[in-house]
Each structure stands twice: as C-alpha cells, then as structure tokens.
Amino acid sequence: MYRISKRLEISASHHLVLSRESKCSRPHGHNWIVTIYCAASSLNEDGMVEDFSDIKHKIHSRLDHAHLNDVLDFNPTAENMARWICDQIPSCYRVDVQESEGNTATYEKD
C-alpha cells in the first residue's frame, strides 16, 4: 500500500449555525491547517498515488480566502469540512482540519 499526505493552509472566514448562543455564530476567520491522507494499492500512470499539486488545487481553489458559508452547502464546522475535503479526492481516507491551536477535527473513512 502506498500512502501520501498533503498539508495545506487555508485562510477563510465562516460563521456557524448552532442550536445555542455562541460567538462562533458571528462571522470570523481562521487559518486552518488541513492534512489530507491518501492511499492506493498501485500507483497511477505517472507513478503517484495523487499529484500533490492536484490535491492542493481541488481544495485550495475552492476554500482559500473565501467565506465558507457562501461556497459550501452545509454548516462549515471543522468536522463537516473534514468530511467534504475527504470526499473531493477519490484516494483520500483521512483528513485532519486544525481550526486553531488545540482544536482539530478528523474524518476517516471506515
């Protein structure tokens, strides 16, 4: 099994739709650190699991310097973002989304 990881920084704003009062319901921004993990039992015709620059483009071009509520059709929590990012890359099996120091959400396919 071949495994790779790609680390990205995404600067973006969002606001959360929550069932309780929270300062996170107001627009605010983060510099998210996103780590994307991919695996394949064989390499593609270029000798790669995934092209690192393709991974960056698929995610960075949609999310970086955006207001996430305007570009995603779900409540942009770190957990929901981790799953959405994982779904964008076929060979991805895990994504870590670090929203701030000490706050990380992980999504991993079963």
Domain limits for position 60: 2-108
34 touches 94 (CB < 8 A): no
Question: What's the CATH code of the domain at 59?
Answer: 3.30.479.10
**pTM greater than 0.85:** yes
In whole angstroms, what is the distance from residue 97 CA to residue 8 CA? 10
Domain tally, the chain: 1
Q: How far is CA 37 from the centre of its chain?
A: 11
For the chain, 110 residues long, give each residue's pLDDT as a single digit of tens. 999 999 999 999 999 999 898 898 999 999 999 999 999 999 999 999 999 999 999 999 999 999 999 999 999 999 999 999 999 999 999 999 999 899 999 999 98
